[in-house]
Structure 1
Amino acid sequence: PRFVREGDVIEFTVKVTNRTDAPQAGRIRLTFADAATLESADAAIGNATPERTFSLPPRASRSYAWRLAIPDSTGFLIYRAVAATEHHSDGEEGFLPVLSRKTLVTESLPLTVRGTGPKTFTFARLLAADAFDTLQHRSLTIEMTSNPAWYAVLALPYLMEFPHACSEQIFNRLYANALARHIADSDPRIRRVFELWRNTPALDSPLEKNTELKAVMLEETPWLREAADESQARRHLALLFDENHIDDQLARAFTQLAEQQRDDGFWPWFPGGPGNEYITLYIVTGFGRLRHLGVDIDLSPARKALPGLDRWMTGKFLEQPQPAPTPIEVLYLYARSFFLEDAPPDADLRALLDRNLERLRHGWPQLDSRQSRAHAALALQRFGDAETARNILRSLREYALVDDELGMYWNDTDEPWRWHRAPIETQAMMIEAFDEIAHDHDAVEACKLWLLNQKRTQNWKTTKATADAVYALLLRGTDLLANNPRLDVTIGGRPLEPTAVEAGTGFFEKRFGPGQIAPEMGRITIDKAGEGVSWGAVHWQYLEDIDRITPHAGTPLSLEKSVFVRKHTDRGTELQPLNGPVAVGDELVVRLVLRADRDMEYLHLKDQRGSGTEPVNVLSGYRYQDGLAYYESTRDTASHFFIDYLPRGTYVFEYSTRVQLRGRYQSGIAEIQCMYAPEFNSHSGSITIEAR
């Protein structure tokens, strides 16, 4: 075997091959020794008869087996197998790793607190820890973040760092610098936060944090480069708040944007290309949003684009008017609504707009995305039709789902690659619509909570998503960043005194060692003084016998492991549940069922194997199964799956192993963890395999 575990009963096989043309007879001896002391370990592992006889015909081979029972506290072993006849002898010596029966398990309880007042959380598994006499506490860590809105600001450097010279990215560099200057000038306390963050772990990527809570080292994952890139971008955050740097970057971006704008007012996607209506609308909308946030910015490029956009929309309507406006036509109305005072439409254009708005009043139910409906509601509101705008919001509200932890969201995130269905950008539009039209504070805060939760478990991948999200989070002013609510945490009836509180986010953590952990610490109360959302987690690590580990369920991530035997019957090939002994050579199909209640990125799934089984597929590489792409890496003791992006839903992983050795051993547990937010984790139990 590649390895054994404490508690395994397994047959160790040795194959003897006669490579001569004559029969051979002799003796074969298998012995074991402790790798550290070289003392014999045969008696300890039940190898009572190390020596046997063999007799082989010419050119034949035969396997011989020794049944071993691996006790607790067995160290690393050396095996030596020697076969000898009167004239010939040969042997092999190697190492046999012995894994501990005790397995380190990490279980976490995410903590999310909205609004003011106390909230009590119950970590049921920790409260019941005394019921398991073999369980050994290792550590308990509680961490809290009082103002996670700062994590959105940490994404601003990505807008500045994007290397391409397309019009959209140039505008986003201008957007990031203009927004950074506005944020820094709005409150001296905010500028002070960035000064305090210099050369501190606050600027590390979440992938590089909490290494002691993660089941795999970052260097063993495919995401080492992503973590380094994100950390480097965050460390450039200070540049965003350097006045000289901001002024220089703003001037550069503004000049580049003006140079790429064509004479007709349109921007191409890349320099030298044809004018692109969508890119132009995106940039014009961005200028309008900056002013809407109170940012002091020169709007002349946007004003220059408006006549061309007006002509384009006039021609589009006159060519072939549809019963209802298309998503890009609605985006035009939304973009145009930011500039009704700067460039009021003339009589002809106003007549065209009125006809378009009339189509929108009756045709908005035909719009197939929430983002377009929010564009329509805001455009109608600004053009004077508040009643239809409120009707659209009522319709959106009817389909919304509300959760205390997740906030307000919608279950319609299919086709996220289409620009008007992108989930982050769509949620940003929900915030703007409920804020401006309905003045619904509760809905706005619930929508912001969902947006922040996405940042909790994901690294926003596009400049467009980042820009829209930051815009939506700052819609009610920079008070969201200046707010730093006090959190009074009580764990097990004892108040927690935070130390080394991180500036801005208010992050702090407290660790307890094995002798400090008690079951009553599974009851946590957080008293929050201040509006907004705060979050954190409790991480409990313990050692437990692998056959006594029970599944960690009821979490945002859940994982189930089951084993089936592939049987060939008269009805064809069937998968039958493992509920009895199996034979050497049987194919076992391991099925992992993974459920996630939210979108997540950077997940590591590890599934341990039984010592008497071998994987059928030993080649590592990217796989695609049931709509999910992942990288599979096969190691000696486990199979590892690295998932870049996991949309909300249920997924099934299956892979095959083959029974190689007789005995009784454990299949091992399966574990999953979000590397970006390690408080989202789960694990299965282990299954006993008996091979005869």
Structure 2
Amino acid sequence: MLNGMIQGEAVATKEIMIQPNVPRFVRMGDKSQITARIFNTGTETVKGTARMELIDPETDKTVYKEAKQVTIDAGGTSGVTFGYSPSVGHTLLICRISVSGKDFSDGEQHYLPVLPDRERVTVTVPFTQNGPGVKTIDISKLIPVKDGQTKLTVEYTDNPAWMMVQALPVIASPNAENAIDRMAAVYANTVAASIMGGSPKIKAAIARWNMESGSETSMMSAMKKNGELRDIVLAETPWVADADNEDEQKRQIADLLDGAQIESRTVSTVRKLIDTQNSDGSWGWCPGMRGNPYVTVTTVQMYARMKAMTGNEAGCGAMMDKAFKYMDGEIVRLVSDMKKAESNGVEQSFPGMMPLQYLYSMAISDRKPSNAARSACDYLIALLKKDIASQSIYAKALTAIILARHGETAKSREYVRSLKEYTVYNEETGRYYDTRRASYSWCDYKIPAQVAAIEAIKAVTPADGKTIGEMRRWLLQQKRTQAWDTPINSVNAVYAFLFDNTNALSAGTETVLAIDGKRLETPGATAGLGYVKTAVTNPRGTELTATKTSEGTSWGAVYVQYMQKTPEVSATGSGIKVKREIIPSGTDGKKTVKELSVGDRVTVRITVEASRDFDFVQITDRRAACMEPVNRLSGYRNGAYISPKDNSTNYYIDMLPKGTWVIEDVYYIDRAGTYETGTCAAACVYAPEYRATEKSQTVNVK
């Protein structure tokens, strides 16, 4: 059989070719320049006419045209520039650029979007009411535009404490086949079911939520509500799955009404835990692995908390007896090593979280250490009593509980006093920790430290209801802006809020919303939450009032939406602040956005200041038509998912902790003219009442 190969190359070319550089878009009011390069591949100099036509695709009529004479040297390239300032009445044009002369012609056409010189502005005012009172908001200051249509939306939640009930996790099956995840499923389901079983009103409210109908229900993810009050479409964000997961979590709350189903799941999971426990009472990270004291003590701690909270062992008693015995041996070995080091002159301090978790688990489950471990425990407790200065808030809270259970009343009160001294107070958000000693978790912020502190204060100074109430208020405010998708910490937070506090779920008198004294008509409030939302077009009035007569925390938000010319939009911020700087690269600050040149690189620096911890924050940075992103690919970079679009770049941040954060991106300046950037906006998608806008800038390019 004969075969062969022929390799060749074909090039399709014309002697005269034109290559336009059409912008991705133009904005009304811009003084744009549209350029093209003309190539002469022939051996003779040619002359011709370059033309640009802008055509309305709906009518096929030419709305603008310009022609210029050009000369292109043999084998050379020539450039041609056309000017264009968009006019009112066109949102999309066909940009046709051609060159023609004796015996030659070439051309291309592209669609050219024309953006309006006006933007929809959303100004928000979130507010909180703690106890009876009247909240007054001057809505006249929120509407700088006197002509055109204005929409005022007011939403109000009379009793957001019910959001805690909606946060109850229901784990149908463990996330992974390891001891910690299996015990987490038992723990979360048992505690959640206990909370449910202790309050008939919770059962009744969940049953009513399941019967709700309409476009927005109580069982819907917060990210799927209020779509008309956001600048985004949820389907275009990376958070569709997160919203679906929250939907599913809320729907599964109804499973807690089925005690038999929860019991069946728990028994099955406990059986797997028993089967994978090693003969010495330990668990490894995964079945078949060597026993690990850190895995074992974490599993033991969840069991101890579950039993202390609910009085229910969930069939784990015998298994945990073996686990505690294993931990006794580990503690004896640890203390033996410490004492040897101490005898060699090495000063000892408390050795970390594992023995602290062990002592805490023993304390809250009222267990006594084995005879062999008793002296080791005494040694560790002696170290705890003198180690107050170096401990984190979380460790201090556990220590206070341990010392209280061992009769060290004065010392435990000293620890609790220290816990309180580290707190800060804000009337709206309550009492919380704004210190590095309150350990921060990438997935739970400072919630575990807050929950542990509440537990310690309740255990040692139960009469201090004021501090406990203020700290619970902070937990509730965190749920306002966070999804809470970690089951263990979610159920701990819900328990810390609701234990001995179910009166927070009691319905009070409905808050009255009014504009200039005239009551707003609102639809029926949702069960439990008392949530209402109403909208008014072109409101007549200057003051919105919310008159609250009930105890507890309520909150709401005012949204004002209107169209305004882009250069006139002012900077605003509620809970979030955003600042944008356009910095020319390599000029040592000698250039500004008023004196750029084609080919320059600029860095856009966006600084976001968050007043609290937020989940799901989107930043939309609109840009000038002369700016082309250096990195055009979407992807995760520098802690955010970055998605460049034709006229903006979107940044999606899963978790934005309290503080100041900086994001930077680099752009080329690819054409001369005068352009508006448009605004830059940052908003919490989970709680859209928290948002900020940075005003537009004018960019001049020579």
Same fold (TM over 0.5): yes
SS of residue in 2 equivalent to 1:27: strand
Distance change >3 Å, CA 8–CA 476, structure 1 → 2: same
1:319 partnered with 2:337: yes
Distance 1:357 1:207 in 2: 47
Give the aligned partner of residue 525 of structure 1.
546
Q: Give the 3 Å change call, closer, same or farther, for CA 669–252 of structure 1 in structure 2.
A: same
Structure-2 separation of matches of 1:421 and 1:251: 29
Match of 1:207 among 223, 227, 236: 223
Matches within 5 A, 1:448-463: 448-463=472-487
Matched residue of 2:542: which SS? Answer: helix
Cα shift at 1:363:
2.0
- Aligned equivalents of 1:652 and 1:181: distance in 2? 43
Alignment of 1:366 with 2:390, yes or no, is: yes
Please tell me whether residue 156 in structure 1 is matched to residue 158 in structure 2: no
Secondary structure of 1:293's aligned partner: helix
**Residue 656 (structure 2) pairs with residue 617 (structure 1):** no
Q: C-alpha deviations, 1:400-426, integer Å up to 9, x for none?
A: 111122222222347957799972211
How far apart in 2 are the matches of 1:91 and 1:81? 6
- Going from structure 1 to structure 2, the CA distance change for 1:130 and 1:449 (only over 3 Å counts) comes to closer
Out of 192, 200, 222, which is 2:204 matched to? 192
Name the CA distance, whole Å, in 2 between partners of 1:240 and 1:504: 17
Q: Does 1:538 align with 2:558?
A: yes
Further displaced range: 294-303 or 585-594? 294-303
Q: Give 1:120's aligned residue.
A: 135
**Residues 373, 392 of structure 1: 8 Å contact kept:** yes
Judge conservation of contact 2:169–2:192 (CA < 8 Å) in 1.
no
**SS in structure 1 opposite 2:695?**
coil
Instruction: State the alpha-carbon separation in 1 of the partners of residues 92 and 673 from structure 2.
Output: 20
What CA deviation, in whole Å up to 9, does each residue of 1:581-629 have, x standing for no partner?
Answer: 32222223222111112222221111111122222222222212xxxx1
CA distance in 1, matches of 2:484, 2:373: 38
Partners of 1:381 and 1:389 within 8 A in 2: yes
Are 1:560 and 2:579 matched, yes or no? Answer: yes
* Mapped contact 1:80–1:92 kept (Cα < 8 A): yes
| Residues 439 and 446, structure 2, Cα contact 8 Å, conserved in 1 | yes
What is the distance in 2 between the residues matched to 1:484 and 1:191?
A: 19
Structure 2 length normalisation: TM-score? Answer: 0.88
1:399 to 412, 415, 422: 422
State which drifts further: 210-219 or 193-202: 193-202
CA distance in 2, matches of 1:121, 1:389: 44
Which structure 2 residues correspond to residues 604-643 of structure 1 after superposition, within 5 A? 604-624=618-638, 629-643=639-653
Letter in 2 for 1:80: R
Change (3 A) 1:422 1:5: closer
* Letter in structure 2 aligned against 1:311: G
Structure-1 residue corresponding to 2:184: 172
Whether the 8 Å CA contact 1:33–1:79 is kept in 2: the answer is: yes
Runs of 4+ more than 6 Å apart: 417-422
Deviation per residue, 1:522-558 (Å, 9 max, x gap): x433414022x222322222211000011113x2210
- Pick closer, same or farther for the CA change 1:102–1:357 going to 2, 3 Å: same
Whether the aligned pair in 2 keeps the contact of 1:618 and 1:634 (CA below 8 Å) is yes
2:33·2:82 contact (CA, 8 Å) conserved in 1? yes
Native 8 Å contact 1:488 1:528 kept in 2: no
Q: Return the alpha-carbon distance in structure 1 between the equivalents of residues 524 and 53 of structure 2.
A: 55
Residues 609-688 of structure 1 mapped to structure 2, 5 A cutoff: 609-624=623-638, 629-688=639-698
Counterpart secondary structure, 1:578: coil
Q: 1:32 corresponds to which letter in structure 2? A: L
Among 131, 141, 154, the alignment partner of 1:142 is 154
Question: Residues of 2 paired with 1:623 and 1:351: CA distance?
Answer: 52
8 Å CA contact 2:439, 2:449 repeated in 1: no
**Identity over aligned residues, as a percent?**
28
Task: Give, as a single letter, the amino acid of the residue that structure 2 aligns with 1:431.
Answer: I
Instruction: Output one character per residue of 1:181-207: Cα deviation in whole Å (capped at 9) or x when no partner.
Output: 323322322112121222653222222
Task: Kindly provide the CA deviation profile for residues 376-417 of structure 1, in whole angstroms up to 9, marking residues without a partner as x.
Answer: 001111211121111112112222111122222222347957
Q: Secondary structure at the match of 1:275?
A: coil
Alignment correspondent of 1:571: none
The answer for unaligned runs of 5 or more in structure 2 is 1-22, 340-347
1:115-144: per-residue Cα shift (whole Å, max 9, x none)?
A: x21142535xx422564456x444222212
2:35 to 2, 8, 13: 13
Tell me the equivalent position of 2:344: none
| 2:546 counterpart letter in structure 1 | T
CA distance in 2, matches of 1:484, 1:366: 45
Separation in structure 1 between the aligned mates of residue 255 and residue 75 of structure 2, nearest angstrom: 75
Question: Are residue 221 (structure 1) and residue 237 (structure 2) matched?
Answer: yes
Q: Any idea what the Cα deviations from partners look like across 1:11-35, whole Å, max 9, x if unmatched? A: 2223332232211112222222222
Is there any run of 5+ residues in structure 1 with no aligned partner, and where?
569-573
**CA distance 1:178–1:421, shift in 2 (3 Å):** closer
- Among residues 484, 487, 512, which one is paired with 1:488 in the alignment? 512
Q: Shift of residue 87 of structure 1?
A: 0.8
Q: Please tell me whether residue 589 in structure 1 is matched to residue 603 in structure 2.
A: yes
Alignment partner, residue 386 of structure 1:
409
Is residue 444–residue 484 contact of structure 2 (8 Å, CA) maintained in 1?
no
| Gap change, CA 1:158 and 1:108, over 3 Å in 2 | farther
Partner residue of 1:425 out of 442, 448, 471: 448
User: What letter is aligned with 1:70?
Assistant: P
Residues 307, 365 of structure 2: 8 Å contact kept: no
Name the structure 2 match of 1:601.
615
TM-score normalised by structure 1 residue count: 0.89
Give, as a single letter, the amino acid of the residue that structure 1 aligns with 2:195: I
Equivalent residue for 1:255, pick from 226, 251, 271: 271
* Matched AA of 1:637: N
Query: CA separation in 2, counterparts of 1:91 and 1:107?
Result: 46
Mapped contact 2:170–2:255 kept (Cα < 8 A)? no
> 1:485, CA displacement in angstroms?
6.4
Tell me the distance in 2 between the aligned counterparts of 1:359 and 1:401: 29
Residue by residue over 1:642-685, the C-alpha shift from the partner in whole angstroms, topping out at 9 and shown as x without a partner, is: 11222222122222223222222211111111111111111100
Which residue identity lines up with residue 678 of structure 1 in the other structure? P
Matched, 1:550 2:570: yes
Take 1:148 and 1:60, find their aligned partners in 2: how far apart are those partners?
A: 71
Deviates more, 1:631-640 or 1:6-15: 6-15
Residues of 2 paired with 1:293 and 1:489: CA distance? 40
2:61 match: secondary structure = coil
Shift of 1:371: 0.6
- Code of the aligned partner of 1:252: S
**What CA distance in whole angstroms lies between the structure 2 residues aligned with 1:181 and 1:654?**
47
